[in-house]
Amino acid sequence: MTNVEARMTNSGKPSVWARVRMFGELIRFSHTIFALPFALLSAAMALWMRSLIFDYVDLAVAQAFVEDTRSPSEQQAGLIITANSTWWKSWRWQEIVGILLCMVFARSAAMAFNRVVDWKFDAENPRTVKRHIPAGLMSRGTVIGWTIACSIGFVASTALFLPNKWPLILSVPFLAFICGYSLTKRFTSLAHFWLGMSLMLAPVSAWIAVLGDLTFHISHIPNLAPPLVLGGAVLLWVAGFDIIYSTQDVDVDRKLRLRSVPARFGVAGALRIAALCHLGTIGLLFLVPSVFPAFGFVWYGGVALVALLLAYEHALVRPDDLSRVNAAFFNCNAVVSLGLLAVGIADLLV
């Protein structure tokens, strides 16, 4: 008996709870844990920056009338201390709700779109043949409707950031980009990096959602550098673990003429490329404090632990033994994303 069958009502139709579970399983809702923590971390960083910007402006006004005898480095240190103590007070409820809704709707739309356009490939793959459309649990029309509903929900959720218009302006291009990932294996082995760029948009989008026009108009302090460096780390991290995950499908990809790093370079070569990606991830994470001065020793300590965790992830998977890919994929990477969120917030609070 399948999980869905076990949740059927006496009439033989799925219960309401079963339908909710089916939609959650369709979009792999639990995998939201990979991108959402980075969106929340970037939002907290942007709040800190917003506090610093306002303090900077206030100080600039004051200095027009009163000569400040402190050195530039002392002035900057004073601003950072002030921002550290006040950043969390400027959080608006619309921002946290908007980020949560946008993340859930965008990812749900992209995953549902993936299930629609890839259902024939899923039906040919023993690992995915039990997914909802090929297994007959849901019709393509139902999943298309869910894709459209989630897309509308995503665009509508950006209204929570008004009068900041940038989330609404960028919503459709961003959604088109992340949905486009589902088509990439048809023409490029770099599909894993497209997926990485899609998740990179999480910290970049959250930063823009919080700072709005300040993202582009403040030139005397770092503006997009922090989310881009953090997002670059996310890009390589996601590409690396997606390459590891796709080693399970190397034979099917070759049979169906789908392009992937494992299909092109073999499992052993793919694992080496994934390791290089994760090495780049650690390098970029160590660079974050150079563009975001609020982070220090707490962040560095967290990144060191992430490096050990990624090394453990690679130790779990060998070219001749892919039995622990799922443990490497979900368990380790969930700890990475949640761990960096916790470390980043802790560093902002101390």
DSSP 44-79: HHHHHHHHHHHHHHHHHHHHTTS---S-HHHHHHHH
d(CA 234, CA 198): 10
For 27, the 3-state DSSP assignment is coil
Phi/psi for 68 (5° steps) reads -95, 120
3-state secondary structure 275-344: HHHHHHHHHHHHHHHHHCCCCCHHHHHHHHHHHHHHHHHHHHCECCECCCHHHHHHHHHHHHHHHHHHHH
Total domains present in the chain: 1
Residue 141 in any domain: the answer is yes
Task: Report if residue 180 sits inside a domain.
Answer: yes
**Would you say residue 61 lies in a domain?**
no
Distance CA 246, CA 128 (A): 12
Structure tokens at 217: 């108009």
Read off the pTM: 0.84
| Residue 17 belongs to some domain of the structure | no
Q: Nearest-CA neighbor of 268 among 293, 250, 285?
A: 250
Helices (H) and strands (E) in the chain, counts: 16, 0
Q: Three-state SS for 197? A: helix
The two three-digit tokens of residue 280, written as one number: 């780049």
**Strand, helix or coil for residue 2:** coil
What's the pLDDT score for residue 74? 43
- For residues 189 and 70, what is the distance between their CA atoms, to the nearest angstrom? 55
Nearest to residue 115, comparing CAs of 89, 70, 146, 154? 146
Can you give the residue range of the structural domain that contains 281? 31-56+74-349
**For residues 225 and 289, is the Cβ–Cβ distance under 8 A?**
no
The 3-state DSSP class for residue 91 equals coil
**What letter represents residue 302's amino acid?**
G
Q: How far apart are CA 199 and CA 203, in angstroms?
A: 8
Domain presence at residue 7: no
Q: What is the CATH number for 252?
A: 1.10.357.140
Running DSSP on this structure, what letter comes out for residue 321? B
Give per-10-residue mean pLDDT for the chain (350 aa): 44 58 59 85 90 56 41 46 51 87 93 93 90 86 93 96 93 96 95 96 94 69 83 97 93 94 96 97 97 92 96 88 76 89 92
Residue 18 lies in a domain: no
Q: Does some domain include residue 301?
A: yes
Dihedral angle computed from the Cα positions of residues 90, 91, 94 and 97, in that order, rounded to the nearest 10 degrees? 180
Q: Pick the closest to residue 302 from 335, 350, 349 (CA basis).
A: 335
Does some domain include residue 106? yes
Q: Work out the end-to-end distance of the chain between its first and last CA atoms, rounded to an integer number of angstroms.
A: 52
